[in-house]
Amino acid sequence: MRSAWWALIGLICIVPATAFAQEISSVDLVPRPHDLRVGEGAFELRESTQIAIEPILPVLDIAAYLGELINTRTGFATSIWTGVPMDSSIVLSTGLVNDNPEAFELIVSPAEIRIKGAGPGGLLWGIQTLRQLLPSAFEDRTGEQRDSWWIPAVEIRDKPRYAWRGSLMDVSRHFFSVEFVKRYIDLLSRLKMNVLHWHLTEDQAWRLEIDQYPRLTEVGAWRTEPDGSRYGGSYTKDEVLEIIEYARVRGVMVVPEIEMPGHATAALVAYPELACSDPPKEVPNDWGVFPDIFCAGKPDTFTFLENVLDEVAELFPSPYIHIGGDEVPKDRWRDCSPCQEIIEREGLGDEDGLQAWFIQRIGEHLASRGKTLIGWDEILDGGGVPGSVVQVWRDQDTVREAIREGHDVIVSPTSHAYFDYSPAALSLEQVYSFDPALGLSEEEARHVLGGEANLWSEYITEANFDLQAFPRLLAMAEVLWSGSGDFDDFKSRLENNAYPRLRAMGVRIGPEDSDVVRLNVGTDAESGEPRVRVETSVDGLDVRYTTDSTSPTTASPLVTDSTSFVEGDQIVLGVFADDEPLPIRREFSVVDHLARGKSITLQHPPDSRYPGPSPSALTDGLLGSADHRDGLSQGWWEHDMVATIDLGEEREVELISTTFLRNLRAWIAPPDTVIVEVSRDGQNWQPASKPVGRISYWVNGEDVSRENRVQWGNGRYREVVRYIRITARQDQLPDDHPGAGHAAWLFADEIVVR
């Protein structure tokens, strides 16, 4: 980068004096180009600049897009010219010799700009690169008008590493307007990302108009929220066509996802005859994996799904249709006589075989319509669908399994690509370390189409979408286009170019490596007592609180550095942007006990995605909620929790309790064994004298709970101890769970000692 900066210094020295009044952009581009050379001088974009093109249709479309970009941001009336290029023109052409159709070269000189693509896609990405060379103020449509804009002289030759560079937008849990979807397509295109994976159906809503089945949107697109309000929305076919065309011009392919056989509650509420038995009565207003799925034993199910997919195939020009296929509970099929008859008749063996048969039948139908099936990696269970594409959300071993079975893959694992996770659980640096082909041979890597950034919308709305997507989408765009490089260099390019540009476009940039709201537990300088501080790493957000479990409003007090929380308060934090509430809620309470603030050591550190608010989270005096993502619990995966507390001196102890989380939908289960040991010297250990009772499960009807408590003592038994050691051993997920046989996540909240 140093040579580029010196070149820019030389550039500035020879630009005409009038240019000094104008900003000249840096060449800190995102994604990073493969070949960038900075020249001398600068091109002046002005009213008289013309766009010169070959008179062929794809280039005309792209030239019109470039002209619109320039004219709406500058007030110019830039024209398109099909004759011999004039002086000070932007010349667009195809025909670049390269085996990658998205390759391009961009040459900027003081006399002209030339962009040549190997195909229309390459030409478009050259334009998006040119756009980044303009000053960031160019992106502000409300900014000052200028007579000219200066673009530094460069030569760039570039092409993408992966053909599939996408992002999943989930409009089913929360609905996004047509304009908001188009806005996101603009942002994807600007970053040279070329796929919008549009998740249109879920348990919580069916968003796509289907002519043959109007109740899908009349009934299935709406739900009653816990406060009694009606929530929902759907897209007409005309609106879908508008979005598809908008995306096409910007080089983005829209791939629809129609979930089956699971995640189908909304459809089954609309058409209950498609359920095995006892169909659901209402569209759910909460999240998770629901038991109601399409009945595989009814011919009407396949008539319905094939009719739906025929309309989807006619509407979307994409050669791919995603059918989900993930998280399919088999309880309804086990109790369904027609389903069991098919298992026996077809020799499928079990319900996994029935799911494979179901998806294979759907895949054959899509193939007859000229479409390729994409499914989440559970479609491998029981046998995959020949010719299908597998989208892997689990791990690299699953990538290898899919490739061994003969599939091309899209890689979007929870470890790097789930942008609905808080930045505390998935940081910018972690995303930037993503390599879809990690550990694969050269031959295996040929089957990796690319990757996706997934924005599941259980907790994402239009209000906080940007905060979750950015800046992590910038990292995903770069690793899929050019591969990860030096993270510090990447961060520098963000600060110098990408962040100012996004802000000029009205994008709110979220935190890089901590949650929007984070609880920091420290020690009060005067009293020596533990102190809770509430922090936000995003400028312009207010945090307000209540102490009686109610939701904060704009009338609730602001959290400041002097705010003090005391034992007994049931604290709820709410986040506001310009007095508008964001769907970010933190619940906790303070509990004072002997171990609060005391030293604790862990044999195995918690998973880096769930570290808690501090290393001593199990003795910080904070009790969180049932939501494992609230930042107050610590989580372990494939390790037991072994925690040792030093009380600092011998104390008389009569009660020790530990709280664990339970949420089988999120693969979280309490431990199957907990051992409590005590010691006076930290060397000689003995079991606590009162045997630990069984783990008592308290659930709230949704199988989600924080109150899975293991307790030693009841106030009548006392021991003099200094050290306490608690070992909690992980359980496996139960046999009827989609992840049966895998270790469950283990989440612990607080160890209370009295």
Q: What is the DSSP letter of 691?
A: P
The class (CATH top level) of 164-504 is alpha beta
The SS3 of residue 560 is coil
Dist CA 432 CA 416 (whole Å): 8
Which pLDDT band, with edges at 50, 70 and 90, does 743 fall under?
confident
* φ and ψ of 272, to 5 deg: -65, -20
Which pLDDT band, with edges at 50, 70 and 90, does 311 fall under?
very high
pLDDT digits (tens, 9 = 90+) for 87-136: 789 999 999 999 999 999 999 999 999 999 999 999 999 999 999 999 99
Q: Tell me what the mean pLDDT of segment 260-269 comes to.
A: 98
Give yes or no for residue 514 having a pLDDT over 70.
Answer: no
pLDDT value at residue 531: 73
C-alpha dihedral sign at 731, 735, 741, 742: negative
Dist CA 543 CA 575 (whole Å): 5
Chain centroid, CA 298 distance in Å = 35
Residue carrying structure tokens 């299908």: 388
Q: Tell me what the mean pLDDT of segment 627-638 comes to.
A: 84
Q: DSSP letters of 373-399?
A: EEEEGGGGTT---TT-EEEE-S-HHHH
Dist CA 369 CA 365 (whole Å): 7
pLDDT value at residue 7: 30
190: enclosing H helix or E strand: helix 178-190
Burial of residue 524, with CB atoms counted within 10 A of its CB: 0-12 exposed, 13-18 middle, 19 or more buried: exposed
CA 677, 679, 685 angle in degrees (round to 5)? 60
Q: Is 135 in contact with 22 (CB distance < 8 Å)?
A: yes
Dist CA 596 CA 602 (whole Å): 16
Average pLDDT, the chain: 88
Dist CA 30 CA 584 (whole Å): 30
Q: Tell me what the mean pLDDT of segment 207-226 comes to.
A: 97
Dist CA 336 CA 275 (whole Å): 10
pLDDT digits (tens, 9 = 90+) for 573-619: 888 877 777 767 788 888 889 998 899 999 999 988 788 877 788 99
Which residue, among 172, 67, 184, 83, has the nearest Cα to 127 in the 3D structure?
Answer: 67
Dist CA 753 CA 724 (whole Å): 9
Q: Tell me what the mean pLDDT of segment 267-295 comes to.
A: 95
Give yes or no for residue 205 having a pLDDT over 90.
Answer: yes
- Residue of higher predicted confidence among 417 and 145: 417
Percent of the chain with pLDDT over 90: 65
Order of strands, edge to edge, in the sheet holding 719-729?
599-602, 641-653, 719-729, 673-679, 686-687
pLDDT value at residue 697: 37
pTM of the entire predicted model: 0.77
pLDDT value at residue 25: 59
Q: Which two tokens stand for residue 474?
A: 């910038």
Give yes or no for residue 21 having a pLDDT over 60.
Answer: no
Least confident of 463-472, 503-512, 578-587, 709-718: 709-718
Dist CA 567 CA 588 (whole Å): 11
Residues with Cβ within 8 Å of 448's Cβ and at least 6 positions away in sequence, in order, are 162, 399, 403, 408, 409, 411, 436, 437, 440
Dist CA 583 CA 581 (whole Å): 7
* φ and ψ of 209, to 5 deg: -65, 130
Question: In Å, how far are 137, 207, 282, 417, 724 from 452, measured between CA atoms?
Answer: 29, 22, 32, 7, 45
Domains of the chain, by residue range, sit at 2-158, 164-504, 514-590, 593-754
Order of strands, edge to edge, in the sheet holding 656-663?
634-636, 746-753, 656-663, 704-712
pLDDT value at residue 24: 58
pLDDT value at residue 689: 61
Fold (topology level) of 2-158: Chitobiase; domain 2 (3.30.379)
Counting every residue, how long is the chain? Answer: 754
Q: Which two tokens stand for residue 617?
A: 């989270």
Which pLDDT band, with edges at 50, 70 and 90, does 529 fall under?
low
pLDDT digits (tens, 9 = 90+) for 443-463: 999 999 999 999 999 989 998
Which pLDDT band, with edges at 50, 70 and 90, does 532 fall under?
confident
Residues with Cβ within 8 Å of 228's Cβ and at least 6 positions away in sequence, in order, are none
The class (CATH top level) of 514-590 is mainly beta
pLDDT value at residue 142: 77
Residues with Cβ within 8 Å of 406's Cβ and at least 6 positions away in sequence, in order, are 384, 386
Best CATH choice for the domain 593-754 from the list 2.60.120.260, 2.70.170.10, 3.40.50.11540, 2.60.40.2470: 2.60.120.260
* Alpha helices (H) along 194-298: 215-218, 237-249, 265-270
* Alpha helices (H) along 222-315: 237-249, 265-270, 299-315
pLDDT value at residue 37: 96
pLDDT value at residue 16: 39
Give yes or no for residue 717 having a pLDDT over 80.
Answer: no
pLDDT value at residue 351: 94
Give yes or no for residue 681 having a pLDDT over 50.
Answer: yes
Least confident of 8-17, 273-282, 392-401: 8-17
Q: Which two tokens stand for residue 409?
A: 């893959």
Q: Is 469 in contact with 453 (CB distance < 8 Å)?
A: yes
Q: Tell me what the mean pLDDT of segment 414-430 comes to.
A: 89
Q: Tell me what the mean pLDDT of segment 266-280 comes to.
A: 96
Q: Is 427 in contact with 513 (CB distance < 8 Å)?
A: yes
pLDDT value at residue 141: 81
Within a 10 A sphere around the Cβ of 361, how many other Cβ atoms?
15
pLDDT value at residue 58: 83
- Residue of higher predicted confidence among 359 and 532: 359
Dist CA 166 CA 187 (whole Å): 12
* φ and ψ of 116, to 5 deg: -130, 130
Q: In three state form, how does the secondary structure of 484-501 look?
A: CCCHHHHHHHHHHHHHHH
Dist CA 211 CA 463 (whole Å): 32
Least confident of 47-56, 208-217, 419-428: 419-428
Give yes or no for residue 384 having a pLDDT over 80.
Answer: no
Q: Are strands 746-753 and 518-523 parallel, antiparallel or unpaired?
A: unpaired
Give yes or no for residue 2 having a pLDDT over 50.
Answer: no
